[in-house]
Amino acid sequence: MKTPAERAAELHDLLHEHSHRYYVLDDPSVSDAEYDSLFRELQVLESEHPELLTPDSPTQRVGAAPQEGFGTVRHAAPMLSLANAFSQEELGEFDRRVRERLERDDAPVCYVAEPKIDGLAISLRYENGVFVQGATRGDGQSGENVTDNLRTIDMIPLRLRTDDPPAVFEARGEVFMSHQAFRALNESMSAAGKAAFVNPRNAAAGSLRQLDSRKTAQRRLSINLYGLGELQGMEIPATQMQVLQMLQEVGFPVNREIRLCEGIDACFAFYEAILQRRATLGYDIDGVVFKVDSLAEQRELGFVSRAPRWAIAQKFPAEEATTTIDSVEFQVGRTGALTPVARLAPVFVGGVTVSNATLHNMDEIGRKDIRIGDTVVVRRAGDVIPEVARVILDKRRRGARRIKLPRTCPVCGSPVINADDEVKARCTGGLQCAAQRREAIKHFASRRAMDIDGLGDKLVEQLADAGLIETVADLYTLEAAQLQSLPRMGEKSASNLIDAIDASRETTLARFIFALGIRDIGESGAALLAAQFGSLDALMQADEAELTSIDDIGPIAASSIRAFFANPDNRAVVDALLASGIRFPTTDSVHTVSSLAGNTYVLTGTLAAFSRDEAKQRLQRRGAKVSGSVSGKTTAVFAGESPGSKVTRAESLGVPVLDEAALLELIGSPDE
């Protein structure tokens, strides 16, 4: 029989281990119910034997009683600041200075590239392996004592995972809030009638500075560690990569995107690559920090004022900027949907000058209370279309005008309808509307549709402006001589375009159906229809019952298909296309493109050949469904490198777990 002290120690170990696996490794080893039962057992034990309750007990994450204010903590080792580089040239100069001081001549320096997490810098202090104090960075010399609040963050170990803890161990890192946690928090804030946080950084700051740590415990904060502070009773590693490795070994979460870059060109490449993936990371980063890997070289380089000469932050272009709305126009899309677009006083944001921003739809305008003449914050994140994020109400002038939905289409004058069950109003003109025709042509020519090489959106606009094409069918009667009348169109490019159009005549049924631009029919819907009906005739003759009998074709899509083919203008275009020689020679296409219909896959971990998004698209193009979570209906899980808990879940459900090679068998390698 164990003594209460022995059982408490055992429960500590079990609960620490489980929460490390759950929060840090994302790889749970027990069910929530088992965890809860161990947790309650410890709570009971501690209430019966108060002397067993220690600050590093797993029960102490729930928050403590409110404080009057935060005390001040002097950092044993100062928390340095970071110099910024705003361009590739400045980063190049940083590297030149480093090499000069290290007398490296042309030999490349090894740098560690770390995403610069947009949160709050903090320091965690462990004495004899136990978490005793946590503080904000403050001015770098001293910060606020936020120990109670930090203790509620599940990712922070309350005890170091080592048998031989050093006397003093300080870890430095960044507290932040994931996009997911931020959205959930703001939903519950607005449900409670409270003002939402503007961005995840503010939400993290607000949560960490709560005087009532029980409130902090309700917020899902995350943390990544990247450095060391004071260290006593243990050797300092030789490189930054080893520092990160050690942090991970003693139980801290370390960012998984961090890479070693040999030489400055590898640093440029890292920056570009992470900038591209910025929106898919699930948390905000505002740049990349580059650090000289060797700690001996770091010491040799030293500091200027309070910034190390061995590190630099290359900042991303700001994603938000303030400007004014001059006017609002309504753009008509391929299916007639009206999108309100704000014309702005030009402003530099996200690395480019922006003069238009989408307002999405009338509901959104109402929600954000946007008016013409308003001063607004525009946001351009990655490749997404710039949008008006919010109005600065303090700056609203008296003349600001409300935005009204037009009753008729601004392009063709047809009536605009605004169905109750749809967010967007629509022009009813169909192919009678020049805007709808143009958008239909752009879609038709696009890569995933007919894939007409060289026929991009701009050229479609030019061809339409010149009166050379009205509908997609006109593409196939174009002649090289006509094209040469266009600006910047020489003999060679004209004949290339004609060749590309010619080549598109031979296509697959799935691509053709997708290219028609039927409302509610995307790429995978088109693939399903092609597989099911095998010919365009069969599809055109199908009634709603036949259409809805297909898995994944619902009543809305079915009625859109019927409406499309019932429209005489559309029928005329389809007939003209077929008459101009469009053919679907490969039944093979129907076969491979839809061969995965009815299957549901889950992707996890990092793939070598593809991004997860690309792999997903390829699976969908073949008719498969790709889901974010594993269930009994999952056909298989494809696991890349360092997969998460999805693999465990798949195994427990008896769902097959396959590797990347098996995935490539299904979807081909990237160049196929």
Site for ligand D41 contains 117 (CB under 6 A): yes
Binding part of the chain for ligand D41, among 111-119, 149-157, 335-343, 565-573 by CB under 6 A, reads 111-119
58/227 with CB nearer ligand D41:
227
x/- track of binding to ligand D41 for residues 172-211 (CB under 6 A): --x-------------------------------------
Residue of 116, 442, 616, 625 marked catalytic: 116
Size of the site for ligand D41 (CB under 6 A): 15
Return the number of the residue (117 or 510) whose C-beta is nearest ligand D41.
117
227 makes contact with ligand D41 (CB under 6 A): yes
Contact 493, 485 (CB under 8 A): no
Q: Interface with ligand D41 includes 403 (CB under 6 A)?
A: no
Nearer to ligand D41, 122 or 445 (CB): 122
- Residue 207 or residue 604: which is nearer to ligand D41 going by CB? 207
From CA 376, how far away is CA 249, in angstroms rounded?
A: 47
Taking residues 442 to 461 in sequence order and writing x for each that binds ligand D41 by CB under 6 A, - otherwise, the string is --------------------
Nearest to 181 by CA among 211, 151, 209, 154: 154
The rounded distance, in Å, linking the Cα atoms of 447 and 190 is: 41
Residues 66, 77: Cα–Cα separation, whole Å: 29
Q: What is the 3-state secondary structure (H, E, C) of 521-548?
A: CCHHHHHHHHHHHCCHHHHHHCCHHHHH
Q: Print the SS3 string covering 41-82.
A: HHHHHHHHCHHHCCCCCHHHHCCCCCCCCCCEEECCCCCCCC
CB of 437 to ligand D41, least distance (A): 49
Element (DSSP H or E) covering residue 641: none
Cβ atoms within 10 Å of 262's Cβ, excluding its own? 12
Whole-number Å distance between alpha carbons of 444 and 463: 14
* Least distance from ligand D41 to the Cβ atom of residue 274, Å: 12
Residue of 396, 368, 342, 63 whose CA lies nearest to 196:
368
Give the x-and-dash track for 303-342 against ligand D41 (CB under 6 A). Answer: -----x--x-------------------------------
**Does 289 participate in binding ligand D41 (rule CB under 6 A)?**
yes
Please report whether residue 80 would count as binding ligand D41 according to CB under 6 A.
yes
82 binds ligand D41 (CB under 6 A): yes
Query: For ligand D41, which residue of 20, 291, 618, 621 counts as binding (CB under 6 A)?
Result: 291
205-221: string of b/e by CB count within 10 Å (b at 16+)? bebbebeebeebbebbb
Q: Does 226 help bind ligand D41 (rule: CB under 6 A)?
A: yes
| Least separation in angstroms between CB 115 and ligand D41 | 6
Q: Which CB sits closer to ligand D41, 114 or 474?
A: 114
Q: Which stretch binds ligand D41 (CB under 6 A): 94-102, 109-117, 566-574, 662-670?
A: 109-117
Q: At its nearest, how many Å lie between ligand D41 and the CB of residue 298?
A: 9
Nearer to ligand D41, 308 or 534 (CB): 308
User: SS3 for 163?
Assistant: coil
**CB nearer ligand D41, residue 224 or residue 507:** 224
Spatial neighbors of 544 by CB under 8 A, at least 6 apart, are 555, 558, 559, 562
Name residue 337's beta-bridge partners: 426
Tokens of 463: 């061809």
- Token readout for 603 is 């992707």
Q: Centre a 10 Å sphere on the Cβ of residue 360 and count the other Cβ atoms it contains.
A: 18
| DSSP string for 426-476 | EE--GGGSHHHHHHHHHHHHSTTTT--TT--HHHHHHHHHTTS-SSGGGGG
Rule CB under 6 A: is residue 116 a binding residue for ligand D41?
yes
In this complex, which beta carbon is closest to ligand D41, that of residue 311 or of residue 596? Answer: 311
Amino acid (1-letter code) at residue 527: A
Q: Are 474 and 468 in contact (CB under 8 A)?
A: yes
Residue from 45, 121, 518, 636 touching ligand D41 (CB under 6 A): that is 121
Taking CB under 6 A as the rule, does residue 462 contact ligand D41? no
Binding segment (CB under 6 A) for ligand D41, from list 44-52, 80-88, 100-108, 547-555: 80-88
Cβ distance to ligand D41 smaller for residue 317 or 534: 317
Amino acid letter for position 651:
E
Looking at the Cβ atoms of 314 and 504, the one nearer to ligand D41 is: 314
Give the sign of the dihedral formed by CA 64, CA 69, CA 74, CA 75.
positive
Query: How many residues in the chain?
Result: 672
Q: Does 81 sit near ligand D41 (CB under 6 A)?
A: yes
Window 582-601: contact mask with ligand D41 (x via CB under 6 A): --------------------
C-alpha radius of gyration, the chain, whole number: 30
Contacts of 348 (CB under 8 A, 6+ apart): 321, 354
Strand partners, 116: 287
Q: Which is nearer to ligand D41, 288 or 433 (CB)?
A: 288
Please list, in sequence order, all residues whose beta carbon lies within 8 angstroms of the beta carbon of residue 412, skipping any fewer than 6 positions away. Answer: 427, 429, 432, 433, 434, 435, 436
Residue 606: strand pairing partners: 641
Q: How far is the CB of 212 from ligand D41 (least distance, A)?
A: 26
Residue nearer to ligand D41 on the CB measure, 230 or 422: 230
Supply the minimum distance, in Å, between the C-beta of residue 140 and ligand D41: 8
Sheet holding 120-127, edge to edge: 130-136, 120-127, 168-176, 222-232
- 8 Å CB contact between 317 and 338: no
The token pair at 225 is: 């560690």
588, amino acid identity: D
Q: How many CB atoms lie within 10 A of CB 642?
A: 12
What tokens appear for 436 in the block?
């709808």
Residue 131 as a binder of ligand D41 (CB under 6 A): the answer is: no
Q: How many CB atoms lie within 10 A of CB 3?
A: 9
Q: Please, which residue, 76 or 80, has the CB nearer to ligand D41?
A: 80
Site residues for ligand D41, window 133-152 (CB under 6 A)? Answer: 137
Q: How far is the CB of 147 from ligand D41 (least distance, A)?
A: 19
116 an active-site residue? yes
Min CB(318)–ligand D41 separation in Å = 16
Catalytic residues: 116
Interface positions with ligand D41 (CB under 6 A): 80-82, 114, 116-117, 121, 137, 174, 226-227, 289, 291, 308, 311
